[in-house]
Structure 1
Amino acid sequence: MSGGPAPAVLPPPLRARLGLLAVLATLVVAVLGALFAGQSRPGTVDEWLQPAGEGVRSPWRHAASTMDFLGEPAGAAMLVAAAVTGCLLLRRPRAAVLAVLGTGAAVGATTLLKPLVGRSIHGDGNLSYPSGHTAFATALALVVALLATGRRRPGRTAGTAFVFAVALVAGAAMGWAQVALGAHYPTDVLGGWCTALAAVPATGWLVDLTAGRLVHARADARQGARP
């Protein structure tokens, strides 16, 4: 393994755009949270979209249940472990750290937001906003997309579009499963998706900042130890 510093988890050409995306996503999460705080009814957008996705039958219901399992603790742990293993095999330790911290930050944020917003679904007291399953799937997809972008090094526009597209596909897939199973409203899914878009770039920036400071500290220590 090379003795040089590990590659950044956030490709430098994409940092500004991903940062702007994170800010916009944060605003969406906040606005939706304020709109649906304390409610247990679907919004206008939910009433329009939900009938198209809810109540699916086999084999689609089986597919939705499988997707849902991948967002549960056991399934999520397996996916994160696979992602960490892949990052380490590719010699991307920062990406491995982001796979753990980024997904953890996204899911942790949804866990904290649910009681603050207090939105429930079907009137059964099940807190639904934002969707933790959607946040997890989107966050993990972002980690994989950032890893691929860092290795391929596409242009700024192409790289940003690729990362966004991967996050959109993963979020849409898990979001569909949550709506199909009646676990979330479509706007819960959107909130979970945006939570990941906000959490992962921020966590990636912190990972790169911390790793960079450690590298400089080690370099200074080596220089100070020279006779």
Structure 2
Amino acid sequence: MRTADLRLGERLLATVAAFGLGAVPTALLLVLIEANWPPLHRLDAAAAEQLHTAVRDHPAALTALRVLSEGVWDPLTLRLLVAATVGWLWWRGARRLALWAAATVTASGLIGLAVKAAVARARPALPDPVAHAPGFSFPSGHAMTAATCCAVLLLVFTPVLGRRSLLTARAVAVVSVLGVGFTRVALGVHWVSDVLGGWLLGLALVAATAWAFDGWRRDTGRPVPPPLTEGLEPELARQGPPEPR
């Protein structure tokens, strides 16, 4: 078991180091951005202008978007939700799964900051802006965090949710991820391509670290379930809290 644990650490490091393989779609998107590809440029410009104008003319909609973007779907809110899940997993005895969730979300934040600094893309400069955000634009940190956190939560809780609850959870996750992207563009603090880049990077990272976790299960002789239908650790459904000593 100790050998498998060591291999898990090596696999996680290798997965994060080789993360660029899963980020190829994001790299291609960035090439199109840097080349000012006309279809993408028109999409960015049209979405920013039209959504900004619509929001600026409807104060109630603007307030709702701010509440959703800066409260309900704020990266800190989502990370705290994952942190609570990590604590619950630790209490349940699923400590390797807890470490996987914590490592994935932490890596997401660090990678997002690194890519922002490397690309250094300016945020939209719109007349009469309705919102402001610090830092660079690509990728959207809100979008990347939402994609990462929602995917992590689904992979953790899939084994313990009933069919109807799982469908509801998936619907909430999809609405949250799409909703985050919409609010950031509508508030005029990101381009559509920033949001796409955040989604792609977040999902690529979760896929890479989930592969590493599956490798650890394989090394310990445990079955490797289909993650999308059974989650990363199906035993969680049968696993109770640790017995008091």
TM above 0.5, yes or no, is: yes
If the length of structure 1 is used for normalisation, what is the TM-score? Answer: 0.65
Cross-structure match for 1:119: 121
2:22–2:208 CA contact under 8 A, matched in 1: no
Give the secondary structure class of the aligned counterpart of 1:119: coil
Cross-structure match for 2:4: none
Cross-structure match for 2:12: none
CA shift for structure 1 position 184: 0.6
Q: C-alpha distance in 1, partners of 2:35/2:81?
A: 33
Q: CA RMSD in A?
A: 3.9
1:139–1:167 CA contact under 8 A, matched in 2: no
Cross-structure match for 1:30: 27
1:36–1:117 CA contact under 8 A, matched in 2: no
Cross-structure match for 2:158: 149
Q: C-alpha distance in 2, partners of 1:194/1:162?
A: 23
Cross-structure match for 2:184: 178
If the length of structure 2 is used for normalisation, what is the TM-score? Answer: 0.61
Aligned pairs for 1:51-70 within 5 A: 51-54=49-52, 56=55, 57-70=58-71
1:25–1:198 CA contact under 8 A, matched in 2: yes
Q: C-alpha distance in 1, partners of 2:100/2:63?
A: 31
Report the identity percentage.
Answer: 28
Alignment match of 1:87 (pick from 86, 89, 93): 89
Q: Give, as a single letter, the amino acid of the residue that structure 1 aligns with 2:150.
A: A
2:116–2:139 CA contact under 8 A, matched in 1: yes
User: What whole-Å deviation, never above 9, does each CA across 1:122-173 have from its counterpart, x for those lacking one?
Assistant: 359941111111111111100111123344698xxxx9x9998665433211
- Does 2:207 correspond to 1:201? yes
Structure 2 vs 1, CA of residues 121 and 78 (structure 1 numbering), >3 Å: closer, same or farther?
same
Give the secondary structure class of the aligned counterpart of 2:23: helix
Cross-structure match for 2:141: 132
Q: C-alpha distance in 2, partners of 1:69/1:193?
A: 18
2:78–2:149 CA contact under 8 A, matched in 1: no
Q: C-alpha distance in 2, partners of 1:203/1:31?
A: 22
User: What are structure 2's unaligned runs of at least 5 residues?
Assistant: 1-18, 127-133, 222-245
Structure 2 vs 1, CA of residues 68 and 106 (structure 1 numbering), >3 Å: closer, same or farther?
same
User: What whole-Å deviation, never above 9, does each CA across 1:3-44 have from its counterpart, x for those lacking one?
Assistant: xxxxxxxxxxxxxxxxxxx999623211111222397xx812
Give the secondary structure class of the aligned counterpart of 2:43: helix
Cross-structure match for 1:104: 106
2:82–2:153 CA contact under 8 A, matched in 1: no
Q: Give, as a single letter, the amino acid of the residue that structure 2 aligns with 1:108.
A: L
Q: C-alpha distance in 2, partners of 1:127/1:74?
A: 18
